[in-house]
Amino acid sequence: MSSIYSEIILDYYRYPRNKGTLPHAQIHARDTNPLCGDVVEMQLEVDEKNNVKDVKFNGQGCAISQASASMLTELVKGKTIDDARKISKEDVLSLIGGQLTAVRLKCALLSLKVLKTGVYNYIGSTDASKDELSGL
């Protein structure tokens, strides 16, 4: 059975890494998936060299949305804001592994959309960045 529900996904769903809040975060974004009610919130603390010092997520929803959010926080931590900006859909999907249907893709990419929304609000958004976000 080619299920997307691998041990890894379930582990991140049950025992999420970096879940919580950061009181001194400079970057804060939140979004929902109105189709299914998934909620993801991301907070990033950035130092003067634009490195992501710490990152936390919060939220509720399906295993795919919550596990991907948790995995994404691990990917971002210690990177620069510019690295975070460059994370692609494919990067997130390879973390998750398995085949996703179009509807479930929205679940998987919600956290990336939230992260990028926060990052673009911080560094300044452009027409290109708006297009990128609406494509997620």
Partner 1 sequence: MTTLKQKWAAASSSTSLKATSHAAADTASYRKAKNRLPGLAVPKSTTPTTKPPLTFPGQLAQSTVRGYATQKQATAYIHGDKLYDIDKVRHDFPILNRLINGKPLAYLDSAATAQKPAEVIDELTRFYNEYNANVHRGVYKISEEATAAYEEARAKIAQLINAKSPNEIIFVRGTTEAINLVAQSWGRANVGLGDGIILTEMEHHSNIVPWQLLAKERGAHLKYVGLTDDGHLVHEDFRQHLESGGIKLVTLTHVSNVLGTINPVREYIREAHKQGCRVLVDAAQSVPHMPVDVQDMDCDFLAFSGHKMCGPTGIGVLYAKKAILEEMPPYHGGGEMIREVHLYESTWRDPPYRFEAGTTNIAGAIGLGKAIDYLSEIGLRNIQAHDQELTEYMHEMLGKVKGIKIYGPANPRTKAGVISFSLGDVHAHDMASLLDEDGIAVRSGHHCAQPLMDRLGVSSTTRASVYIYNTEDEIDRLVESVERAGRVFKI
- The residues of the shown chain that bind partner 1, judged by CB under 8 A, are 1, 3-5, 10, 14, 35-38, 60-64, 101, 104, 107
Q: Cα(81)–Cα(86) distance, rounded to whole angstroms? A: 9
Residue closer to partner 1 by CB (options 61, 118) is 61
Provide the minimum distance between the beta carbon of 2 and partner 1 in the complex, in angstroms, as a whole number.
8
Q: What secondary structure letter does DSSP report for 15?
A: S
Q: What secondary structure letter does DSSP report for 62?
A: -
Residue closer to partner 1 by CB (options 64, 76) is 64
| Token pair listed for 90 | 């494919």
Residue closer to partner 1 by CB (options 27, 113) is 113
Provide the minimum distance between the beta carbon of 11 and partner 1 in the complex, in angstroms, as a whole number.
11
Q: Single out the residue of 102, 103, 96 nearest to residue 7, CA to CA.
A: 96
